[in-house]
Amino acid sequence: MSKRLVNILVPLISIILGLIIGAIVMAVSGFNPIDGYIALWNGIFMDTYTMGETVRQITPYVFSGLAVAFAFRTGLFNIGVEGQLIMGWLAAAWVGQAFDLPAIIHLPLALLAAALAGALWAFIPGLLKAKLQVHEVIVTIMLNYTALHVANALIEVIADGGERTERIHETASLRSQFFESITDYSRLHWGFLLALIAVVIMWFILEKTTLGYELKSVGFNKNASQYAGMNVNKNIILAMVISGAFAGLGGAMEALGTFENMSKLHAMTGIGFDGIAVALLGANQPFGVLLGAILFGSLKNGGLNMPSEAGVPTEIVSIVIALIIFFVASGYIIRVALERFGKKRKEEK
């Protein structure tokens, strides 16, 4: 069995096992798994509105998954995507409401502000890692909570003591009357096209540029890279900054597309943390991340329909997602089983 086929089968088998055991959990809990999965399906594909909302839900997961995957591919573990996304959300919301500019300037400026805010928040752990060898996991986890409280404090300042920022100007919005008309006024916006472009950009950087080669090389072996003349510290910082920029753009999708403002957050959004699972499911490959985001976004949005249609609590969806992650993380076992199956078939021939 070829390595490429095994790499494709491992996540597919993980998804199937997760759904099967999720059905068992539903049955043991007294719910009908068939009705539950039908409700899940309807929550994703029932009509144009639900399909539009599903694609809208997928969009920020693509960016958070790319942020985590980019760091992984360059030897870093960016647990701070959540905080970087929050800062990007705030920056985009502020630029969107504070300035009144032509759309051709305003929208790109708001997106750029989000990317820069996420990049700046990721620069801190990158700098500490490069200069002081402080582990990025510890710093990024702490910065998630810092971002949450800093954002809430700044929202209060921007909103003059209110709970949310003003709605962004139409010139900064990603919303589309065309998408609203074909999806029965869902919140689908142009951000999904930006997500597809981001997937291609990550692939191009890592696979087709000298920069990408250096970033991956430093991630694989710092000493060998330094011996080859690469600037290790610069590449560590740059890897975190690019990862943070992807995360910040994920926040922009919420600020400029889904909500068109930012309210005070009483807890983490979860999008950044789910990005870890999306990257894991996509094997840290850009196009794999896209597929992982499609799965997660679909499960999250479809799961909202399960309580009303089948009486199944949304927590069941979280269990299914957790099971899928578990089996992906246990991919080595599935991989060994597939390889043994392939060898057995060769011997029989």
pLDDT digits (tens, 9 = 90+) for 273-301: 999 989 988 889 999 999 999 999 999 99
pLDDT digits (tens, 9 = 90+) for 323-345: 877 887 777 778 778 778 777 77
For residue 69, is pLDDT > 90?
A: yes
Q: Is residue 66 part of a domain?
A: yes
Q: Is residue 53 part of a domain?
A: no
Residue 309: per-residue pLDDT:
93
pLDDT digits (tens, 9 = 90+) for 83-129: 999 999 999 999 999 999 999 999 999 999 999 999 999 999 999 99
Which string of DSSP letters, residue by residue, matches 265-277?
Answer: PSS--SHHHHHHH
Are 100 and 72 part of one and the same domain? yes
Are 171 and 296 part of one and the same domain? yes
Q: Is residue 151 part of a domain?
A: yes
Residue 45: per-residue pLDDT:
94
For residue 49, is pLDDT > 90?
A: yes
Q: Where in the sequence is the domain holding 167, given as residue range(s)?
A: 58-304
Angle between helices 3-28 and 331-348 (to 10 degrees): 120
Angle between helices 3-28 and 33-45 (to 10 degrees): 120
* Domain termination site, one of 273, 288, 304: 304
Are 196 and 97 part of one and the same domain? yes
For residue 35, is pLDDT > 80?
A: yes
Are 232 and 257 part of one and the same domain? yes
Neighbours of 251 (CB within 10 A): 35
276 within 8 A of 253, measured Cβ to Cβ? no
Whole-angstrom Cα distance, residue 37 to residue 305?
Answer: 10
Q: Is residue 52 part of a domain?
A: no
**Total domains in the fold of the chain:** 2
Q: How many helices (H) and strands (E) does the chain have?
A: 16, 0
Does pTM surpass 0.75? Answer: yes
For residue 115, give every residue at least 6 positions away whose Cβ sits within 8 Å of its Cβ, in sequence order, or none.
88, 245, 248, 249, 252
CB-based burial label for 229 (10 Å; 0-12, 13-18, 19+): exposed
